[in-house]
Amino acid sequence: MSLRPSLRLVRWVSAGALLAGAAASGAACSSKELALTLVDPCQGVQGFEGFRSRASYVEFAVFESECPNNTCGDLDPQLALGNTQGALKTSLVPINQALPSIGDLPVRKYAFAAVLKDDTCKPIAYGCTCADVEDISKVEINVAAWSNCSGSGCSEAQACTEMSAPGCVAPAACVNGRCDGDPDPDSSVPPDASDDNPPTGPCSLRVIASGALPAPISDTAALSGPAVTATDAGFVIGYREQHPDTTAMQAVLQGVSDSGSPSSPSKIALGNCSSTPSDGVGIASQGSAGLMVVSLPECGLGNGAGAAFITFGANGARTGDNTLRNPGFTGLTLARGQSLVPVPSSSSEYELVYRAEMTSGAELQGATLEGLGFKGNARILLGAQPVDFGQIALTSAVSGILGQITGGSSMLLRVGPPGGATVDVALPAASWGAITAYTGRVAVMVPEGSGVTYSLTDSLGADLGTGTISVNDVRGGDVVALNDRLLMLTASTGNLTIHRFTGAATTPVAGEQAPFLGSVGSTSLSGFQGELVGMAAARNRVAMAWLTRSRLQSGDSVGGWAVLECAN
């Protein structure tokens, strides 16, 4: 019979160890001791104090984890911010006080973490060790400022200099190691969890964090977008806004970490224009860097319509921008989502799909981008048929082009190997769609009747699964793949719902829905019209963003974002 360790942390010790304790477990009169030690590698380092002498509080947390590559996985970014949300068990006490008993732990793998905080609740150091409690008799956690270190190594100065994460933000005060308004230290329920979205199952879609997008350029700004992409550091959200009086346009980039910590937004001026754009924006990432594409209307200056190209780092900070116009274009528009994808075989190239409007008509064009502009000439897609919009999905094994033919009775999905899509799949005619590709498959979702229709195919156009989802008043949506799941986001007035499907690599099977009615976590959906949404997924995380409406009304927020948990 497997033992169930009961972890109990009892006292402080010296000689480099911060904290030591023991676990007692019992099964059929058997017992097992599981010792825990927090080690301060900076104690005794010349020129630095140990972290124990600098800390006022210590918080211990236990997380379920698969221990990928014997690490704590993606917990490091949130622990560096002092964030223990999602832990099965937590305990926080003054630095020189013993922690209370943690209780029984079923035998499996866990991530054991500790965060040290100063008297302002600022996290100054942390550590994490992942282990299977069935195979060990002790857990040792090295506590230091690991977030200061780079992937290539860590110097003593980096590891022993306090982290730069903030403490409590005024007017909140640090009380017993917690900022006013934080959840109870022993609670395992995160502050953004809601009764409408209880954590259940391995892909719980529990809200890790949510928040509002940056304040608008005007209380009645015109908005378009959003689009979301995953980067090495988390997620980046992009959208465009225009001032109704000055006609000034700007692009906005907002980075959010996997733990839900927003970075400082980047706002990029796009000039003034009497025309108000209403199309989508394109955004994609190659991991450590990304690209955003925003259309530019023809503003009566004779230089035609075009686009702005904005490069950014993994946290969403702008690194460069450029604008290009074509005098022959009367308009250039992007679909609501999936107009830009990275090229799998390149670390710097992207594929862009856009609707080019000319005096002779409109057609769907595709182009390869590199840096801040085009690489080679544009290509005509879907046989030069006039289109309302077009979208793209791409992997190393399959490509898909989704387009609504103007006046057509159906939407067209053209699939095939990369660079050779020739097989057509018909879908219901619609005013918007969503598409994604993973391994050798393409998944699409389009509105139809009182809900949405979805379809899964491959490069040969085979029917790998089709179905419908009933949704009242659906106005927007998106689709992503994560692990062996398809996640379909549908939006309606004041509401968002994520529909979970398992079997993405075989035959998709519908699972439970995760509805967000009136709010996502603590972020309100007040005024949300249900049209402008985007979603991305990576590393057991799902990020979604929404804009309240295409033209704000006084008192509206721009919109919001949320990071959700979807473990395998």
515-526: pLDDT as tens digits: 999 999 989 999
Mean pLDDT, residues 422-429 taken together:
92
Torsion of CA 143, 147, 153, 157, to 10 degrees: -70
Task: Note whether 129 and 75 are within 8 A (CB).
Answer: no
The pLDDT assigned to 265 comes to 93
Average confidence (pLDDT) over 342-350: 94
Mean pLDDT within 336-351: 94
Give residues with Cβ within 8 angstroms of 170, minimum separation 6: none
Range with the largest mean pLDDT of 64-78, 102-116, 124-138, 260-274 = 260-274
Amino acid occupying residue 311: T
Please give the torsion angle defined by the CA atoms of residues 97, 103, 105 and 110, in that order, rounded to the nearest 10 degrees. -20
Checking if the pLDDT of 14 tops 60, the result is: no
Q: Reply yes or no on whether the pLDDT at 558 is more than 90.
A: yes
Taking only the tens place, the pLDDT of each residue in 433-489 is: 999 999 999 999 999 988 999 999 999 999 999 999 998 889 999 999 999 999 999
For range 114-138, the mean pLDDT: 88
Task: Answer whether 515's CB lies under 8 Å from 198's CB.
Answer: no
Judge whether residue 15 has pLDDT over 60. Answer: no
With CA atoms as reference, report the closest residue to 395 among 454, 455, 459, 463.
459
Per cent of the chain over pLDDT 70 is 88
Structure confidence at residue 450 (pLDDT): 85
Which tokens go with 278? 């209403």
Mean pLDDT calculated for residue range 26-30: 37
Residues 222-265 have pLDDT tens digits of 999 999 999 999 999 999 999 999 999 999 999 999 999 999 99
pLDDT, greater one: 535 or 554:
535
The domain ranges of the chain are 6-179, 200-216+472-568, 227-376, 381-470
The 248-257 sheet, strands edge to edge: 222-231, 234-242, 248-257, 266-272
Q: To the nearest whole number, what is the mean pLDDT of the chain?
A: 86
What is the distance, to the nearest Å, from the Cα of residue 134 to the centroid of all Cα atoms in its chain? 34
> pLDDT tier at 104 (50, 70, 90 boundaries)?
low
pLDDT winner (highest mean) among 2-16, 155-169, 257-271: 257-271
Q: What is the pLDDT of residue 436?
A: 98
> Looking at residue 148, what is its pLDDT?
84
**Quick check: 6 pLDDT over 80?**
no
- The three-state secondary structure class of 99 is coil
Q: Identify the pLDDT of residue 50.
A: 86
